[in-house]
Amino acid sequence: MSERLEEIAVKMVAGGRGLLAADESTSTIKKRFDTINLESTETSRRDYREMLFRSEDAMKKYISGVILYEETLYQKAADGTPFVDIIKAADSIPGIKVDIGAKPMAKFPGETITEGLDGLADRLAKYYEAGARFAKWRGVIAISETLPTRGSVRANAQALARYAALCQEARIVPIVEPECLMDGKPGNHNIDRCAEVTESTLRIVFEELAEARVSLEGMILKPNMVIDGKNARKASVAEVAERTVQLLKRTVPSAVPGIAFLSGGQTTEEATAHLSAINGYDLPWLVTFSYGRALQDSALKTWNGKQENVAAGQREFTHRAEMNSLAAKGNWKAELEKAA
């Protein structure tokens, strides 16, 4: 069993391919659709995701796996082909978001705990049956002058570790995502504060993973980059990369096969530039992307909910996927964006 998990984990991060996070909940995708004045219905959600998953060039060359939402895992394309089959046909791996969201944490004002452990073993068995081979769970860590508290970090780390252990029992690779929020409130912390919080969070997460007997070789880490808050942005691309690499080398065991960064509140191009700069260093893990908005935003706007724009939307998605694939090899350059 462990060998299979290790093989899947490596395939998720190898060869300059990365993960498409298409796991927006129904309420989140509605917000995205609102930006193009499109009503969110089962059909419009299907059409949008079908456009992405049928972008053959993007999927075959640049996307190693797709994080799905429960609705999408069971959804079929307009012609009746299950989305899971379309993803697999592109040699990409279907995955599934399994947490049910960050909820306010009792007695910890301003902090959250992610829920979804109840009944998770049974759900994972069903998701495996449906074709999912990896899963995702996000722990949300608030950053301010006084937050996070140790209690909230510890509780979220324990939940991540329990989730990861359940996944591995179910022959599913867990993506462990402790996100120290760049765009939380008030979002005016500097890069030093982000580094401090991220470092202590990752130390506690790996302690809890060890306590829960999670095999590090059969998991992927999905962390935030070390970056200043969204209302205090000053750090250069070079500084973000240097601070991020320094911190990960201190906290992430080299047994972990790969790190797939989240884009957080970064702009599309920033997320690509930072990833490329990070890959300019000598790293003990494969480092790639697990982006949602930073892969989809321009494609969504180009498509604009119209059937006649599908091909243009696919070109836009393929371009972003290619740029991030270059970044995962450390080969992205800003002029490549202008050339397109």
Active-site residue list: 177, 222
CB-count exposure of residue 183 (10 Å: 0-12, 13-18, 19+): exposed
The DSSP symbol for 69 reads P
CB-count exposure of residue 14 (10 Å: 0-12, 13-18, 19+): middle
Distance CA 179, CA 222 (A): 8
Q: What are the tokens at 57?
A: 């060039």
Whose CA is closest to 108, among 165, 146, 78?
A: 146
Q: H helices within 150-267, ranges in order?
A: 150-169, 191-211, 237-251
| Region class of 264: left (phi > 0), else alpha (psi between -120 and 50), else beta | left
Distance CA 41, CA 302 (A): 19
Residue by residue, DSSP assigns 80-100 as S-BHHHHHHHTT-EEEEE---
Type of residue at 261 = F
Cβ atoms of residues 317 and 58 within 8 Å: yes
Type of residue at 217 = E
Residues with Cβ within 8 Å of residue 300, at least 6 apart in sequence: 32, 35, 36, 48, 313
Q: What are the tokens at 286?
A: 């494969």
Whose CA is closest to 245, among 266, 275, 206, 269?
A: 275
Strands (E) in the chain, as ranges, are 18-22, 63-68, 93-97, 102-104, 112-114, 134-141, 173-180, 220-221, 258-261, 286-291
Place of tokens 């999670």: 214
